[in-house]
């Protein structure tokens, strides 16, 4: 069920996190908010899309709504837990994702937007350095991001680290919406 969100004017100047299990509508809600923000901040928005291509019905890049003008950075990302054949390969895929996203962060920090959307931040937190993510968030007045926080993809060492880092991120955000 989609939560009742305040008007986007109330989200301005803060960090908002949307979390939930797979296929609960996190990306759809982010897209809807993108369209609403576009009416307030046309041309001053960016998207860092950390989602992998659709893999076994999970993930998928975000397509900005029609008429929404924003700078998009969408590097090629793997779905480690769905693509890796063993724990070593899963870890290697997660580290490769983190490296690609850190390159995206460097480009973004050269010219930060007023409003930043991040799709599937949990993919970065599987192996990336949270301090580098926080640097991006702190450079941006308004941030709306989503990420996986659930149990269906399993635990293991990487899953536990991802969960811990997502909870730490949630504690840093002004608002957290948990989709079910």
Over residues 153-166, mean pLDDT:
83
Q: Are residues 121 and 98 in contact, defined by beta-carbon separation less than 8 angstroms?
A: no
pLDDT cut 70: percent of the chain above it? 92
Domains of the chain, earliest start first: 8-179 (3.40.50.300)
* Strands ordered across the beta sheet of 71-73: 71-73, 45-49, 115-119, 142-148, 15-20, 175-179
The pairs formed by 127-131 with CB atoms below 8 angstroms and a separation of 24 or more are: 127/91, 127/94, 127/95, 127/97, 127/98, 127/158, 128/97, 128/98, 128/101, 128/102, 129/98, 129/102, 130/165, 130/168, 130/169
Outline where DSSP puts E strands in the chain. Answer: 15-20, 45-49, 71-73, 115-119, 142-148, 175-179
Q: Which of 72-81, 91-100, 105-114, 129-138 has the lowest mean pLDDT?
A: 72-81
Q: What are phi and psi of 65, to 5 degrees?
A: -60, 155
Distance CA 41, CA 44 (A): 6
Distance CA 98, CA 40 (A): 32
pLDDT cut 90: percent of the chain above it? 60
pTM for this entry: 0.91
| R_g (Cα) of the chain, nearest Å | 15
- Give pLDDT, residue 108: 96
């Amino acid at each position: 069920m989609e939560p009742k969100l305040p008007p986007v004017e109330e989200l301005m100047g803060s960090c908002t996190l949307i979390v939930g299990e797979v296929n609960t509508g996190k990306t759809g809600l982010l897209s809807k908010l993108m369209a609403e923000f576009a009416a307030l901040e046309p041309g001053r928005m960016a998207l860092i899309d950390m989602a992998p291509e659709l893999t076994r019905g999970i993930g998928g890049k975000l397509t900005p709504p029609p008429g929404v003008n924003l700078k998009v950075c969408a590097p090629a990302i793997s779905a480690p837990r769905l693509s890796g054949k063993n724990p070593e390969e899963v870890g290697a895929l997660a580290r490769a994702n983190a490296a690609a996203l850190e390159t995206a962060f460097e480009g973004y920090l050269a010219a930060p937007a007023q409003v930043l959307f991040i799709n599937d931040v949990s993919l970065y937190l599987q192996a990336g350095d949270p301090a580098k993510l926080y640097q991006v968030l702190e450079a941006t007045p308004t941030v709306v991001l989503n990420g996986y926080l659930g149990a269906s993809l399993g635990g293991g060492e990487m899953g536990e680290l991802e969960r811990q880092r997502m909870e730490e991120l949630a504690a840093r955000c002004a608002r957290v919406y948990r989709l079910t």
